[in-house]
Amino acid sequence: MRFTSLKAVNLRCFQEVSFQPGPRNNLIHGANGSGKTSLLEAFYIASIGKSFLTNRSSDLVKAGSDGLAITAEVGDESDFGTSVIVVKKSKADTQITLDGQGVTTASSLARNLPVLVINSRAPDLLGENPSNRRALLDRSLFHVKHSYVGLWKDYRHALRQRNELLRKATRSEAPFWEQQLAEKADAINDLRKTVIDAINDQLRTQDIPGLGNGNIQFQFAPGWNCEIGLAEQLRNDWSRDCDIGYTVAGPHRADLSLWLAGRAASKRLSRGQSKMVVCLAMLAIAQFIKDAAVAPVILVDDLVAELDDQMLGLALTTIQSVETQCFFTAIRPSELRDRLPADTTMFHVERNERTSTTA
């Protein structure tokens, strides 16, 4: 699936912007503050129902407006029919329709068209809250195994039940919920490992400048002692968990860490190296989703920042290898234009016009 058109009204700096992107590579250019990132944000909102920059609708609505509206047409590679997505946001609520039918959950919308973002925040993924790394794995799995959402919801339900028992110090009912947690945890863990294996397979094939070839890998900590199993660990942890009032062990505490030549590496990399590693990880996820389900759209914001020529070339080569619709932003289009295929579609965001291809 891919975007064939998009129109955004009253989104951030835009009163109105319309774009008919090309099927593969699109280069959005313009001055600082002209709305390049906001246009990427519009594509993301059309796919996910929310922004990748903020959870506050009030931040998205143009000053002086009551709300915003984004209308997007999406179609498959054969152009056999299109679907229309409309997302309307006010400062109070969000309304989404797909082909005129109301959509009540973002997951229902995202299932139609996966979107991945690579931006200036990419290096932060290695050092920020572990919940963001877990969320990346879980979003990836949702697109390739639609039952994963239900599996995760079942796990969270069982977790809430055990936490309630902990607060009441009621042990008698706990074994049932601990067994439920253990069964769901094993299934979640097995699926998360498939994503991590795909990422590490990608990293093993790349010669990242300054890091060597095959020297860097992600290690996964599932969140409990797999040798004894989660059910037994929860039984052993009951008194401790009662004291603090919540369940410590489980996949809700899983994490990823980056290792280089046998040592933890996330704090040893430059910003450019960190961005390159995360970029390659995101592209491995894109290929993982494409192989199992549908090719995701890739949104790439200011790729040039923090990457030298060698790393920029590696990033672009890997992005092109996924063979999917991509959107790039640049202040100076010349920094990317000559590195992208000749049929790349150009869009000048300040003029609100599709200008030409790179040919």
Mean pLDDT of 247-270: 91
Q: Residue 224: which of 180, 191, 181 has the closest Cα?
A: 181
Residue 234 CA to residue 182 CA, distance in Å, equals: 9
Q: Are 110 and 142 in contact (CB under 8 A)?
A: yes
Residues 6+ apart with CB under 8 A from 110: 47, 48, 49, 142, 143
Architecture of domain 1-114+294-359: 3-Layer(aba) Sandwich (3.40)
The pLDDT score that the predictor gives to residue 359 is: 45
Q: Residue 26: which of 326, 332, 340, 333 has the closest Cα?
A: 326
Q: What is the DSSP letter of 124?
A: G
Q: Residue 131: which of 246, 280, 252, 274 has the closest Cα?
A: 252
Burial 237-274 (b: 16+ CB within 10 A, else e): bbeebbeeeebebbbbebebebebeeeebbeebeebbb
Residue 181 CA to residue 359 CA, distance in Å, equals: 56
Domain range summary for the chain, segments of one domain joined by +: 1-114+294-359, 122-271+284-290
Fold annotation for 122-271+284-290: Glutathione S-transferase Yfyf (Class Pi); Chain A, domain 2 (1.20.1050)
The pLDDT score that the predictor gives to residue 121 is: 85
Range of lowest pLDDT (46-60, 81-95, 201-215, 307-321): 201-215
The pLDDT score that the predictor gives to residue 79 is: 59
Band (104; pLDDT cuts 50, 70, 90): confident
pLDDT averaged over every residue in the chain: 91
The pLDDT score that the predictor gives to residue 81 is: 77
Mean pLDDT of 244-254: 97
Bridging pattern class, strands 263-264 and 255-260: antiparallel
Q: Are 265 and 259 in contact (CB under 8 A)?
A: yes
Residue 111, number of CB atoms within 10 A of its CB? 16
pTM: 0.92
Band (357; pLDDT cuts 50, 70, 90): low
Residue 26, number of CB atoms within 10 A of its CB? 26
The pLDDT score that the predictor gives to residue 265 is: 86
Band (208; pLDDT cuts 50, 70, 90): confident
The pLDDT score that the predictor gives to residue 1 is: 81
Band (80; pLDDT cuts 50, 70, 90): low
Is the pLDDT reported for residue 166 higher than 80?
yes
Band (288; pLDDT cuts 50, 70, 90): very high
Please write the tens of the pLDDT for every residue from 40-74: 999 999 999 999 999 899 999 999 999 999 999 99
